[in-house]
Amino acid sequence: MSALPVPADSPLLSVRALTIAVPGPTGEQAAVVDGISFDVAPGEIVALVGESGCGKSLTGLALLDLVPPPVRIASGEVFFEGRDVRSLPPLEKEKVRGGGIGLVFQEPGSALDPVRTVGSELVGVLRRHRGLSRSEAKAEAVRWLGRVALPDPARQMDAFPHAMSGGMRQRAMLALALAGGPRLLVADEPTTALDVTIQAQILQLLLELRRELSLAILLVTHDLGVVAEAADRALVMYAGEIVESASVGDLFDRPAHPYTRGLLASRPAAGEAGRGRRLTALAGTVPEPGLRPRGCAFEPRCPEAFGRCRAARPTLLPAGGSSESACFLVDAPTEPRR
């Protein structure tokens, strides 16, 4: 609310050279997120997609300076509406959390206070971030529960989280995350714990809320289907780095990075033709932080790797259309391959 107006063309969120470190088994620091940079524009849905351990969830938490110790942000900046979140005074930082950037998790059960009713939590958020009186906040809370399509919102005000289904808890959590009026929502695997018919409803709801509230969403997910369903743009992470950035159309039509191509190809084909045919699997597994190769982290699994990939680490380069790819094939497509 107190944030300065942002010029229309500047990004809402700007992450620069963010590095997140964990202490390794012998005490040395290993980078789980390794110098990543990206922007999110107002009203845009950006998917941060990758497998477990790639650093996508920690990146989401870092935007709010909420990385849990002993993990820590080693270097880099997070600019939200032009201000470096990490260097804000505590009171201002609290305003950004919930008031500027909202957060929802995979398992809403663990994020909701088990001994408070949903209504009382929501009233608290509205008073804290919007400065409403108790009665105003109550009316607004009921409106929010209706907005996230909880059935019988007035009655749900008095419900405890344990009495709700997973889908209802996720709706309640969305209301809590959005009631403070954030311009950006960090949604970390918001539908992963839900059944498929409920997942479809929640994704639908996210898209509606984005339209109505001009909300930007950073959608942290491992699920390419969720990316196809909901995102405008995708950042593909592998072993702590962004290896590809593209509009969702370009990502699925002409994936630029061999890892993205591998992920898309490993999905069972749709339709009758695919049944019982061996899948195109990526060989090997993701390297652990601290044990990543010196060159490209994907090189040991890459079917297209060549000499340079072992020697140096590629950075994001334009790869045609909206795509950027951290792959030497982008500018050296004619070098002999493995």
Partner 1 sequence: MSALARPEVDEPLLSVRDLHKAFVRRGGLLTPPVRIAAVNGVAFDLPAAKTLALVGESGSGKSTTARLVLRLLAADRGTVLFGGTDWMALGLHELNARRREMGVVFQDPATSLDPRQSIADIVGEPLVIHRLGSRVERRERVVRLLAAVGLPASALGRKPHEFSGGQRQRIAIARALATEPRLVVLDEPVSSLDVSVRAQVLNLLLDLQRDTPSRPAYLFIGHDLSVVRWIADRTAVMYLGRIVEEAPTDALFTSPRHPYTALLLASQPRRHPGDAAAPLRAPGEPPSPASPPPGCPFHPRCPSARPVCSEEVPKLLPHAAAEGRSVACHAPLGS
Residues 6+ apart with CB under 8 A from 171: 145, 148, 149, 150, 202, 205
Residues 285-324 contacting partner 1, CB under 8 A: 285-286, 301
The minimum distance between CB 279 and partner 1, in angstroms, equals 4
Site membership for partner 1, residue 175 (CB under 8 A)? no
Rounded to whole angstroms, the Cα distance separating 329 from 306 reads: 9
Stretch that binds partner 1, among 35-43, 84-92, 102-110, 194-202 (CB under 8 A): 194-202
| Residue type (1 letter), 10 | S
Residues 203-232 contacting partner 1, CB under 8 A: 203-204, 222-229, 231
Q: What residue has token string 């795509």?
A: 323
Cβ closest to partner 1, residue 13 vs residue 164 = 164
Cβ closest to partner 1, residue 9 vs residue 272 = 272
Q: What residue has token string 């958020």?
A: 125
CA angle 216, 219, 220 (to 5 degrees): 145
| Given 268, 291, 334, 336, the residue binding partner 1 (CB under 8 A) | 268
> Strands of 13-23's sheet, edge to edge?
29-40, 13-23, 72-80, 83-84
The minimum distance between CB 303 and partner 1, in angstroms, equals 13
Rounded to whole angstroms, the Cα distance separating 330 from 314 reads: 10
Cβ closest to partner 1, residue 63 vs residue 296 = 296
Residues 57-116 contacting partner 1, CB under 8 A: none
Question: Is there a contact between 13 and 37 (Cβ–Cβ < 8 Å)?
Answer: no
CA atoms within 13 A on the CB side of 283: 6
The minimum distance between CB 177 and partner 1, in angstroms, equals 21
Number of residues that bind partner 1 (CB under 8 A): 48
The minimum distance between CB 229 and partner 1, in angstroms, equals 4
Cβ closest to partner 1, residue 252 vs residue 306 = 252
Residues 30-59 contacting partner 1, CB under 8 A: 51-52
CA angle 303, 308, 312 (to 5 degrees): 110
Terminal CA-CA length for the chain: 55
Stretch that binds partner 1, among 56-64, 81-89, 113-121, 160-168 (CB under 8 A): 160-168
Q: Which residues bind partner 1 (CB under 8 A)?
A: 51-52, 151, 165, 167-168, 195-201, 203-204, 222-229, 231, 248-249, 252-253, 262-263, 266-270, 272, 274-276, 278-283, 285-286, 301
